[in-house]
Structure 1
């Protein structure tokens, strides 16, 4: 099992082209931890903003009566991928992993694979 800090480091080092990472509580909108980012990418603000994305998708699925769980949400920008993965299981209820990738330097399939592994090891 891995802590938030260890999980953030793994997200940043294992995913090629990673620009920033966060573990976020989408019930409150607060980041439990962030790593990376910079002057053009404030991970705390980005994490809080993407809380609305997760909430909206969860709400839409409930209204549609969908019983499946979200594996991940992908937002594609001109130069970046923003990958959101809700954390399944008892210890992660209400949390999501958030990873920002440089589109030119990343492998999206491998990044999804890495996030799934990090999710499985995260212990809050």
Structure 2
């Protein structure tokens, strides 16, 4: 099992990574971040993506869908934004957020690696 810092460092090593965060979507607060910079504010992205997760969870409830959300993908012209909801009992209400440079990233591998990181994360 890996802690938050180790998990974020692993996420930052994913090919094409711009930045990563562990986010509490009940509060919108980033519990940890790595990467980003003045051009890409990960705390702002964490708060904004909290709204995305809440909206999707609410929509699924209204539709009566019993499936769990694995991940949410937002595709921009130059970036991928990947949101991976964590499902372990101690990580309920958390998600891993990963921003990728589309020209350098392999989306399938990034999803696979982010799932592995999320599965090993001990909060």
| TM-score (normalizing by structure 1) | 0.98
**Count of aligned positions:** 123
Computed over aligned residues only, the root mean square deviation of the Cα atoms, in angstroms, reads: 0.5
- Note the residue ranges of structure 2 that are not aligned, 5 or more in a row: none
- For residues 45-82 of structure 1, the C-alpha deviation after alignment (integer angstroms, 9 at most, x for no partner) is 00111000000000000010000000100000111000
| Structure 1 match to 2:42 | 43
Runs of 4+ residues over 4 Å off in structure 1: none
CA distance in 1, matches of 2:108, 2:57: 23
CA distance in 1, matches of 2:122, 2:45: 23
CA distance in 1, matches of 2:92, 2:85: 8
| Structure 1 match to 2:10 | 10
- For residues 3-52 of structure 1, the C-alpha deviation after alignment (integer angstroms, 9 at most, x for no partner) is 11000000011x10000000000000000000000111000100111000
Offset at residue 91 of structure 1 (A): 1.3
CA distance in 2, matches of 1:46, 1:89: 23
CA distance in 2, matches of 1:114, 1:11: 8
Residue 94 in structure 1 maps to residue 93 in structure 2: yes
| Structure 1 match to 2:19 | 20
| TM-score (normalizing by structure 2) | 0.99
**Residue correspondence of structure 1 range 1-124 to structure 2 within 5 A:** 1-13=1-13, 15-124=14-123
